[in-house]
């Protein structure tokens, strides 16, 4: 989904004040230092994404009470630090004005980053206009949010150096944090867009996961709305995990959510693949996919999985001396849609285990497909074997009619 950047809107400061008043109510018993309007919407004359960014600045001693108050009083979703130390992220599930809420520890680099960027752009019109040109240009190219953040890194560094509020090591850390890392950004196919999850996907995710037909081959009954929300939040937290072992992407068609694809990785030490004598670095990936009944029978699952596998096995850390991927799809053999999809993707039948696990009061068979691909490996520098285990990610191949 492309980033939208708009010319400065004089209503943004008023929108901030309205949100600030609500936050003050939720934090009436908390000793916070200040509530600050930050980000591009806080700079008069600056083009910006129409999303209000807000920092609640606290001492370290009042960090946890502030987090607790926002959860209890505001009913906000807490996303954790998302890879940025001392910057705690919240989402208001009922927001009428789009906004981001951050609880930031006073004096730390990330807090000085937000304030230094804002204050420098407010006083330096040349830097402000240069920054606006960069953002508008990226938006005009239909840049997705993850690539957008990385592409802005050069101008962000220029602004922060001009602010004089950060040391060279701190600037380097911020530059690193703005890199894509193991986030996948957006994957475009002829008909589909595969992208990282956002909180706006909660309703669509619930539609997918609450469908009884879709839950037929799952280990759990149809999801509740709260369960769906928690799973989306977990996916968002996984974006910034290093090493990242769980990937799950939303799949859009003509701007509408139609399903999801994913993989759970098991980094290994050097190992032998079947039929090979030499040791090579191998990463195992349990693949998973799930699509709305209305999207089935149109080839979307095949198209999405081919694109996802291609990007996943390309890796995000570069080549590692001949390492390979061992991809696996495990499904109930009665799930003929998943069986056909695995075969279309070029997977071979590896094993059939009768009555492998108990699910919903019956013993279920396990049919495993495998495929070895690639020379590139994600997480290759982690030379340790992790036990495979099972989780919901290992077995969420639903009924697929592709």
Please give the Cα distance from 327 to 324 (Å, whole number). Answer: 10
Q: Which tens digit of pLDDT belongs to each residue from 76-109?
A: 999 999 989 999 999 998 888 999 999 999 999 9
Domain ranges across the chain: 12-177, 186-395
213-246 exposure pattern, b = at least 16 Cβ within 10 A, e = fewer: ebbebbbeebbeeebbbebbbebbbbbbeeebbb
Query: Are the C-beta atoms of 49 and 6 separated by less than 8 Å?
Result: yes
CA 199 to chain CA mean position, Å? 10
Note the pLDDT of residue 182. 75
Helices (H), 141-270: 145-151, 153-163, 168-177, 202-209, 225-238
**Maximum mean pLDDT: which of 118-122, 173-177, 364-368:** 118-122
Structure tokens at 4: 């939208």
Q: Which residue has the higher pLDDT, 116 or 269?
A: 116
* Residue 180 pLDDT level (bands cut at 50, 70, 90): confident
Note the pLDDT of residue 168. 96
Collapsing DSSP to helix, strand or coil, 328 comes out as: strand
Q: Is the pLDDT reported for residue 221 higher than 80? A: yes
Q: Which of 163-177, 187-201, 246-260, 360-374 has the lowest mean pLDDT?
A: 360-374
Q: Which residue has the higher pLDDT, 316 or 355?
A: 355
Task: Give the rounded percent of residues in the chain with a pLDDT score beyond 90.
Answer: 69
The CATH number of 12-177, from 3.40.50.300, 3.40.109.10, 3.30.460.10, 3.40.50.720, is: 3.30.460.10
Query: Are the C-beta atoms of 186 and 3 separated by less than 8 Å?
Result: no
Average pLDDT of the chain?
A: 87
Is the pTM above the cut of 0.75? yes
Q: Which tens digit of pLDDT belongs to each residue from 242-292?
A: 788 999 999 999 999 999 999 999 866 555 656 666 666 788 999 999 999
Beta strands in 246-323 (DSSP E): 246-253, 256-271, 280-291
Q: Which tens digit of pLDDT belongs to each residue from 132-150?
A: 999 999 999 988 888 898 9
* Residue 402 pLDDT level (bands cut at 50, 70, 90): low
Note the pLDDT of residue 374. 66
Note the pLDDT of residue 401. 44
Q: Which residue has the higher pLDDT, 168 or 277?
A: 168
CATH topology of domain 186-395: Aminopeptidase (3.40.630)
């Amino acid at each position: 989904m492309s980033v939208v950047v708009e010319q400065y809107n004089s209503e943004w400061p008023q929108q901030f004040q309205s949100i600030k008043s609500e936050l003050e109510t939720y934090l009436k018993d908390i000793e916070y230092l200040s509530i600050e309007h930050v980000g591009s919407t806080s700079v008069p004359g600056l083009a910006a994404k129409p999303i209000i960014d807000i920092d609640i600045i606290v001492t370290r001693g009042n960090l946890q009470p502030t987090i607790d108050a926002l959860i209890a009083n505001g009913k906000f979703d807490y996303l954790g630090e998302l890879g940025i130390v001392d910057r705690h992220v919240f989402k208001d599930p009922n927001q009428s004005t789009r906004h981001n809420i951050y609880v930031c520890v006073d004096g730390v680099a990330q807090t000085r980053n937000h304030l230094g960027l804002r204050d420098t752009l407010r006083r330096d019109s040349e830097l402000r206009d240069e920054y606006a040109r960069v953002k508008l240009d990226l938006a005009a190219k239909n840049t997705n949010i993850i690539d957008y953040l990385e592409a802005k890194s050069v101008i962000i560094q220029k602004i922060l150096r001009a602010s004089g509020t950060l040391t060279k090591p701190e600037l380097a850390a911020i530059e690193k944090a703005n890199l894509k890392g193991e986030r996948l950004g957006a994957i475009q196919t002829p008909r589909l867009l595969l992208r990282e999850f956002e909180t706006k996907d909660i309703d669509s995710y619930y539609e997918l996961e609450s469908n009884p037909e879709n839950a037929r081959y799952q280990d759990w009954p149809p999801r509740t709305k709260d369960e769906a929300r928690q799973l989306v939040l977990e996916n968002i937290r996984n974006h910034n995990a290093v090493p990242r072992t769980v990937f799950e992407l939303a799949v859009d068609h003509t701007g509408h959510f139609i399903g999801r694809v994913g993989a759970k990785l098991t980094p290994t030490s050097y190992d032998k693949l079947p039929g090979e004598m030499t040791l090579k670095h191998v990463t195992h990936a349990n693949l998973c996919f799930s699509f709305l009944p209305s999207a089935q029978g149109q080839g979307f699952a095949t198209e999405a999985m081919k694109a996802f596998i291609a990007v996943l096995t390309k890796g995000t850390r570069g080549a590692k001396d001949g390492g390979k991927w061992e991809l696996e799809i495990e499904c109930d053999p009665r799930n003929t849609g998943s069986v056909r999809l695995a075969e279309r993707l070029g997977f071979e039948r590896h094993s059939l285990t009768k009555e492998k696990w108990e699910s919903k009061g019956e013993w279920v068979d396990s049919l495993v497909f495998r495929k070895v691909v690639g020379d590139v490996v994600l997480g290759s520098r982690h030379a340790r074997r992790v036990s495979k285990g099972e989780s919901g990610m290992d077995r969420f191949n639903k009924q697929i009619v592709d």
